[in-house]
Amino acid sequence: MLSCILPGYKDPLIHKTTEDILKNAEGDVEVINIYDGYWDTPIDDPRVKVIHLGQNRGMRGAINAGVAAAKGEYIMRADCHCSFDKGFDRKITENMEDNWIVTPRRYFLDPVKWKLMDKPPVDFAKLIIQKDKDGNEKKFTAAPWKERDEELKDVMIAETMGMQGSCWFMKKSWWEKVIGELQIEGYGNLIQDSHEMIFKTWKAGGKMMLNKMTWHSHKERGFPRTHNNGAPENPANCEVGYKYALDVWRDYYEKEIRPKWGI
């Protein structure tokens, strides 16, 4: 079974995303809606499980709660404003190793029409240290990697360096063995979760993989923001979290990861 974890804070598209998962999954799935510090009326379907966090914990805490409740052999985490390919669950889980994190090809979603937009998808991503306008290191980020897109254009499943984080899959046993839980201390409530998981996975001998045999579509940035980065009483403290991630992982990235990838 695949456990699909949707952590949300007042995102009006969480139920549309849930319905899309239920419609397009071909195997046994459960969808875990996490209402992070608020209440909503859930979809009436036996495959939908609800976790109500009475106090807002932020995305990291909500994901941790969802994984803890997951019953599936595999887990998926997705943003609450995504649509999915038919059979996405089968196409991922049938082509997954025990020590992989996998992200599918990412398209852009028109959330009003609930249709894919006429834009090319995002495939490979290069993990870089992004700088601010003054040239100072700001944060780890996953940048589009056009050279690798061209080099591996006919390869459907291949290793990548990063992902947006809007949709990923792994075996729950890998989470339990390697990730444990997303760390709140230092990182804060919200950001750098995908990079933390990727670094931990590399350290443990695993891989970050792209599967182009299937896709998800994520709400295009041009549409109005309908979700928050955390409740007012639970601020994200992004700048602090960005610095913490760099302090923890910069040496490993510079001395081991960049040489391995030749960047």
Domain ranges of the chain: 2-261
Helix (H, G, I), strand (E, B) or coil at 254: helix
The region of weakest confidence among 52-56, 85-89, 188-192, 224-228 is: 224-228
Per-residue pLDDT, 123: 98
pLDDT band at 73 (very low <50, low <70, confident <90, very high): very high
pLDDT band at 191 (very low <50, low <70, confident <90, very high): very high
pLDDT (tens digit, 9 = 90+) per residue, 104-158? 999 999 999 999 999 999 999 999 999 999 999 999 999 999 999 999 999 999 9
Instruction: Say whether domain 2-261 belongs to CATH 3.40.50.2300.
Output: no
Q: What is the model's pTM?
A: 0.94
E-strand spans in 25-173? 29-36, 48-53, 74-78, 82-84, 100-110, 115-116, 125-131, 137-144, 157-159, 167-171
